[in-house]
A and B are shown apart, each in its own frame.
Chain A
């Protein structure tokens, strides 16, 4: 779905040459990663973690996961071929490097939030998420950030107990 954020010319629907090249490289990289992942699933994951190899009733339990992964593999190869031959890029595909950098940053943030949730508790995780999130998103309204950081987690914690009788970690 094309959105107003896409690097596509709103009037003509054509991407800028530089953005098209970036998008094409991203598509090729994504295709290669997907090929690798689906080959990994077909060759190692499914044979080693799906039992038994055969079924007395119908097709083997591994048949359908293998079929789904196989379809992903074929389509990924098709996408790579299409991008190589037609030199076409999908509007909306941003720089792969930026996407990977954001992904890694999120992995670090998510791991931090999860460890806080498990080892310290919900309130600590919520305080950190709201305070850091607000500051990194560009808000500098300190009184509001402070109030939000303290009051919202307490209200959610209290509401979860009051309405659902669930004690948050």
Chain B
């Protein structure tokens, strides 16, 4: 394996390849920082550009876009409390309070360093475990996935709100919204009102951007308006009082970094679970492991580290099922499979034998991309921090316009803009009444998979739910679900 990797480095370490990686990361960060235009949109837009590149340069460029796009979402989350993508939502929990107390640059440094470290750990695991983990992933059937999703719901409800019952209500409201559209098994209409735009269900981008980004922006604008009306001095801009982040301080959180990278890698290796789930599982694990869990949500850097290390770790690990099984781990990996096919590479069990040289060159490119990501991301932080020093009243209204453009661009649908504006209102009232908006978005995001796996389980077991006792994996996750719910409810009573 080491020989193959060295050969891969020999093929990948060219000026042209490094330039394509750097371009991919830069574009990814810039596009990822715009609400609505995350790494998936960036990949979708930029795949046609790669038609003129060699297969290795093309894949390296797209991997760079994916890495940059994933970490770029943390920038608006930290500076504006309006995460551009659901996976960056947990970064806002602690990043925004840090920015408010004058540590915007430190928060962005924590996010960048955690992202690069988590990504590197995940890439190393990808190289070492691509074959054996593919075998483990095959052990997960519909029943196990259903149990994992229930576990995730319980965990999310427990960590994202002071009231787990409100978290659960938001999650199941999201699950309900995910049932709009065609039935996944019968393909019959459900609550579409004969509107063709609803046949595919509500789109995640307008819903997530509306609830998470736009709702946060209008909430801040209402706060500024009210503060001015009541004669209080509005918080107009953040002053950067602390900017330095020594390497020793960052690596003093090595336990959180390692744990989060492993959680992100584990989730990434299971197809379909996604980046957002990894980020929240990791955030919850960091909070539970902390000696001061109450400091989470008030500007504890471990919250940023846990989120960013985990969501970036998914990027590399997602390629495990992609390469080993030909099964994309998430939408970004599905787009990468499309790019593989465009360049004559068929993902699947024979990929390692038929295109081994290219795959190891890709692994080498991924490792090199982490170094490039660190340099480009670090150079960009002072530029982004200008946003933090600009008065809020001048920053927030343009974000409303960018949200509209970000949602309109991918599908060029005014219906999506209307959905986003509607969900901004729902997100606003949820925020004001203490319901965790993130739970609604994640319930929606995982709802379709939850329904499909649950119904597959009912079909396979002929609705005999005692079948759960035949699966130790499912049983373990269900036991953990009950345990987490009981603990969360006892804590809140």
List residues of chain A with CB under 8 Å of any chain B CB.
1-4, 13, 23, 26-27, 30, 34, 41, 45-46, 49-52, 55, 57-59, 61-62, 64-65, 68-69, 71-72, 75-76, 78-79, 82, 86, 88, 90-94, 96, 98-100, 102-103, 105-107, 110, 113-114, 117-118, 122, 125-126, 129-134, 136-139, 141, 144-145, 148, 152-153, 156, 160, 163-164, 166, 168-169
Chain A to chain B contacts (Cβ below 8 Å), 9 pairs? A4-B97, A50-B188, A55-B185, A58-B459, A99-B433, A130-B400, A138-B228, A166-B408, A166-B412
Contact at A166–B409, with CB atoms within 8 Å?
Answer: yes
Indicate the member of A94, A106, A152 with the most B CB atoms within 10 Å: A106
Residues 105-119 of B, flagged 1 when their CB comes within 8 A of A and 0 if not, give: 000000000000000
| Given A1-B159, A71-B168, A79-B165: 18 more A-B contacts, CB < 8 Å | A1-B93, A4-B100, A52-B188, A57-B186, A68-B447, A72-B176, A90-B161, A91-B162, A92-B162, A96-B433, A114-B418, A126-B404, A130-B398, A133-B396, A137-B393, A138-B224, A138-B234, A141-B391
Is B389 in contact with chain A by the CB < 8 A criterion?
no
Q: For the complex formed, measure the closest distance between the CB of B77 and the CB atoms of chain A, giving whole angstroms.
A: 13
Which residues B156-197 have CB closer than 8 A to chain A? 159-163, 165-166, 168-169, 172-173, 175-176, 179, 183, 185-186, 188-193
Q: How far is the CA of A129 from the CA of B435 in the complex (A)?
A: 27
Known: A2-B162, A58-B185. Contact between A141 and B394, CB under 8 A? yes
* Neighbour of A65 across the interface among B45, B190, B414, B417, CB < 8 A: B190
User: Which residues of A sit under 8 angstroms from B296, Cβ to Cβ?
Assistant: 1
Q: For the complex formed, measure the closest distance between the CB of A83 and the CB atoms of chain B, giving whole angstroms.
A: 10
Closest to A125 in B: B404
User: Which residues of A sit under 8 angstroms from B199, Cβ to Cβ?
Assistant: none
Stretch of B321-329, B342-350, B424-432 on the interface side? B424-432
Is B227 in contact with chain A by the CB < 8 A criterion?
yes
Q: For the complex formed, measure the closest distance between the CB of A15 and the CB atoms of chain B, giving whole angstroms.
A: 10
Q: How far is the CA of A21 from the CA of B194 in the complex (A)?
A: 44
Q: For the complex formed, measure the closest distance between the CB of A69 and the CB atoms of chain B, giving whole angstroms.
A: 5
Is B422 in contact with chain A by the CB < 8 A criterion?
yes
Q: How far is the CA of A10 from the CA of B404 in the complex (A)?
A: 36
Q: For the complex formed, measure the closest distance between the CB of B136 and the CB atoms of chain A, giving whole angstroms.
A: 28
Contact at A99–B165, with CB atoms within 8 Å?
Answer: no
User: Which residues of B sit under 8 angstroms from A114, Cβ to Cβ?
Assistant: 414, 417-418, 421
